[in-house]
Amino acid sequence: MGALKVIALLLLAELAFSARLPPKSDVSFSENYYVRWANDHTRVINGGSEMQLVLDKVSGAGFGSRSKYLFGHISMKIKLVPNDSAGTVTAFYMSSETDKHDEIDFEFLGNVSGQPYIVQTNVFANGVGNREQRHYLWFDPTQDFHTYSVLWNKQQIIFYVDDVPLRVHKNNEAIGIPFPKSQPMGIYSSLWNGDDWATRGGLEKINWDHAPFVAAYKGFSVDACAGGVESCSAPEGNWWEQEAFQSTDEETKSKLKWVKDNYMIYDYCTDSKRFPTTPADCGQF
Ligand SMILES: *[C@@H]1O[C@H](CO)[C@@H](O)[C@H](O)[C@H]1NC(C)=O
Ligand SMILES: *[C@@H]1O[C@H](CO)[C@@H](O)[C@H](O)[C@H]1NC(C)=O
């Protein structure tokens, strides 16, 4: 491939992707989502452009998408529980919710005031996960809304925080590792009590004197294919299936390295206590 063609492709990728971060127009919460549990612990405000989940001693809460999707760019703007959020877990994830489910997770583990959140990510295929990574963030996620998103196509899953790639999970079916590509997934979020494990491994419990804990959401449009294998697997047509999004370009690789060098605090790939033999999908970039 000629240098010009490479540059043109990179520009195209940049344009196509940045054009979708953030989504051009937004829709109200109820257009794409509904409250799945504890309606009385949710608040839909500003004409549906913002929604909040509330956790107190009585309950947490959760919402989900009305449709299930197979491939696309899934994103949400989230402002995490401020101040003392120790023991709380805010999850933003996709799941097929079947017996052998596929799942793509962001989990935000709260902390005592002034101490850093952890973002834990994971990918499940056919019911098997065990692919946790953990990162700190380069900003305070409780001060403003930030965009957490997933680019998901047949070749890879990229987790983004704003425009920074946090993690890439490749399709390694070629070496016999299942990849999420045939089960449509819903988009979910919930806020719950995870104080048996979330903060400093469960040492910090929720301080209920500081309840209610509130996580806020915006950006409810979905740029993904609603449907199943028949309707969503066409090789062309959807922007996320274009060649530019099937591999990891140099800019993405260098940003990933920056994240890994500065903010990664746990990687299943290097946990030799848990996995004496390095998992086969590690190092398969
Ligand atoms: C968080 O703490 C700041 C100051 O430390 C305070 O002004 C603010 O009201 C607190 N927010 C909540 C939601 O408790
Ligand atoms: C909470 O803060 C402690 C102390 O700084 C840190 O070790 C831990 O990784 C932070 N995050 C969580 C979720 O425990």
Domain of residue 122 covers 24-270
- Cα(278)–Cα(105) distance, rounded to whole angstroms? 22
Q: Which residue owns the Cα nearest ligand 2 atom 13?
A: 199
Domain count, the chain: 1
Binding site membership of 278 for ligand 1 (Cβ less than 6 Å): no
Which one, of 170, 157, 147, 163, lies nearest residue 259 by Cα? Answer: 163
Residue 9 lies in a domain: no
State the pTM of this model.
0.90
State the pLDDT at residue 3: 54
Instruction: Say which ligand is closest to the CA of 210.
Output: 1
Residue 1 lies in a domain: no
Contact yes or no for 229/131 (Cβ under 8 A): no
Pocket test for ligand 2, best of 113, 200, 204 (most atoms within 8 A of CB): 200
- What is the per-residue pLDDT across 217-261, written as a single tens digit (0 to 9) for each? 999 999 999 999 999 987 667 899 888 899 999 999 999 999 999
User: Residue 251's CB: how many other CB atoms inside 10 A?
Assistant: 12
Residue 15 lies in a domain: no
Residue 153 lies in a domain: yes
Residue 240 lies in a domain: yes
Q: In the predicted model, what is the mean pLDDT of residues 87-93?
A: 98
- What is the per-residue pLDDT across 170-210, written as a single tens digit (0 to 9) for each? 999 999 999 999 999 999 999 999 999 999 999 999 999 99
- What is the per-residue pLDDT across 3-34, written as a single tens digit (0 to 9) for each? 555 455 554 555 455 444 445 578 999 999 99
- Cα(56)–Cα(61) distance, rounded to whole angstroms? 10
Binding site membership of 109 for ligand 2 (Cβ less than 6 Å): yes
Q: Is 83 left (phi over 0), alpha (psi -120 to 50) or beta?
A: left
Residue 225 lies in a domain: yes
Q: Which residue owns the Cα nearest ligand 2 atom 12?
A: 199
Residue 260 lies in a domain: yes
What CATH number does residue 180 fall under?
2.60.120.200
Residue 5 lies in a domain: no
Residue 57 corresponds to which amino acid? Answer: K
State the pLDDT at residue 19: 41
State the pLDDT at residue 283: 76
